[in-house]
Amino acid sequence: MNKSYELFIGPNHPGIPGNFSLKIELEGDTVVSAKGDPGYLHRAFEKAMEGRYYIQNLALIPRICVPEPDINEAAYAMAVEDLMGVEIPERAKYIRTIVLELARVANYTMWLGGLAGTLGLYTLAQWSIGDRDYALDLFSDICGARVYHMYIWPGGVRRDLTPGWEDSVLSYIRYLKNRLIDYDNIFLKNVMFKYRTKGIAVVTKEQAIEWGATGPILKAAGVAQDVRKDDPYAAYEYLDFEIPTLTDGDSWSRAMIRRWELENSLNMIEQAIKKMPKKGPVCAKMPNPLKGYVPEGETYAKVESARGEHGFYMVSDGTGKPYRVAVRGASHTHMFTIAEKVLVGQRLADVSHTLVSLDICPPEIDR
């Protein structure tokens, strides 16, 4: 009498982190198979970028990944700099590091709220998303925008920091470090949280390597891999930080890794502010952006996003517009190779929190 039935999760569902649909087959309330259905956020970025000048593309790229736009700017800028052979000024490297880490903090606080929300604890969602807002205020101090900053661009950053910005960042870090203790007490040390996430959605070390996982999934499975360490960009080579790893690879470990990384990021911002040269140029001298200034060639630039490796493969033919830009979002692999396999055997109640735990970001998949 075992009869399975199909259920559509999404595109509008609070558990899905965005506009994304999932077709699952259930037996009782156990998932038998899961299939992702992307394309609801497809905006044809890669096509649009081919038709625009390098400088015009700056307005497009942050929109590829909405929760953490700065990684796109950084990867794009790095690809252009790599093709041109430009070395960016020292101060710009540090500013990039601070902005990128602040974006990671904003992403993780948002993510923490999302995870707590899907597990039914909306209090933490109220807290952490409210706290994330103060980070967005810091962004709007330096570039005027809360979400899409367009601050990092080829050659360095768009303009220097506003006076006193470092102090506001430091006071925000002090504030958030105190808040993290509250988060732990209410959520991460909570017994219910442990019951709901221990042993759920396990990705073992072998599986993680075989399936090509990156970022927190790989770290939670026990592989210490991080682009910031392996192929340092910006000012990461001057900073002292460790890559956290755990061995279980379940939903709980991933949450802990992210919590750890959040604290790491805060420490890194503090270090970067301390070590940053107080004066100096923030942008290298660049030729006229409307002329064809990027020489012919191809390159692959990658950065570590909150979800894993985020890369831009860029081909230039020497004209003012890029010939081809291919974007690698970490969620692409995480959704179709990992989540579809990991969801099998889960209970229906765990589906939405598994997706959040793997940090699926649909705009990155569809582009």
Sites of contact with another protein (CB under 8 A)? 11-14, 18-19, 38-44, 46-48, 50-51, 59-60, 63, 66-67, 110, 113, 125-127, 129-130, 132-133, 136, 146-148, 209-212, 214, 223, 225, 230-231, 298-300, 302, 309, 311, 313, 315, 323-324, 326-328, 332-333, 336-337, 363, 366
Q: Which is nearer to another protein, 6 or 27 (CB)?
A: 6
Q: Which two tokens stand for residue 182?
A: 């509250």
Q: How far is the CB of 56 from another protein (least distance, A)?
A: 9
Question: Is the separation of the CB atoms in 74 and 96 below 8 Å?
Answer: yes
Other C-beta atoms lying within 10 Å of the C-beta of residue 82: 18
Q: How far is the CB of 139 from another protein (least distance, A)?
A: 12
Q: Which is nearer to another protein, 225 or 357 (CB)?
A: 225
Tell me the torsion sign for CA atoms 112, 332, 11, 60.
positive
Question: Is the separation of the CB atoms in 353 and 50 below 8 Å?
Answer: no
Burial grade of 4 (CB within 10 A; 0-12, 13-18, 19 or more): middle
Q: Which is nearer to another protein, 119 or 276 (CB)?
A: 119
Taking the C-alpha atoms of residue 69 and residue 104, their distance in angstroms, rounded to an integer, is 10
Which residue's entry shows tokens 């960042």? 169
> Maximum CA pair distance of the chain?
74
Q: How far is the CB of 170 from another protein (least distance, A)?
A: 21
Q: Which is nearer to another protein, 205 or 275 (CB)?
A: 205
Q: How far is the CB of 117 from another protein (least distance, A)?
A: 9
Which residues, in sequence order, are CB contacts of 77 under 8 Å at separation 6+? 152, 153, 154, 155
The kind and range of the H/E element at 24 are strand 21-27
Question: Is the separation of the CB atoms in 77 and 54 below 8 Å?
Answer: no
Q: How far is the CB of 19 from another protein (least distance, A)?
A: 5
Q: Which is nearer to another protein, 226 or 270 (CB)?
A: 226
Identity of residue 103? A
Q: How far is the CB of 338 from another protein (least distance, A)?
A: 9
Give 36's strand partners.
22
Q: Which is nearer to another protein, 248 or 366 (CB)?
A: 366
Q: Which two tokens stand for residue 108?
A: 């993780």
Q: Which is nearer to another protein, 14 or 163 (CB)?
A: 14
Q: How far is the CB of 319 from another protein (least distance, A)?
A: 13
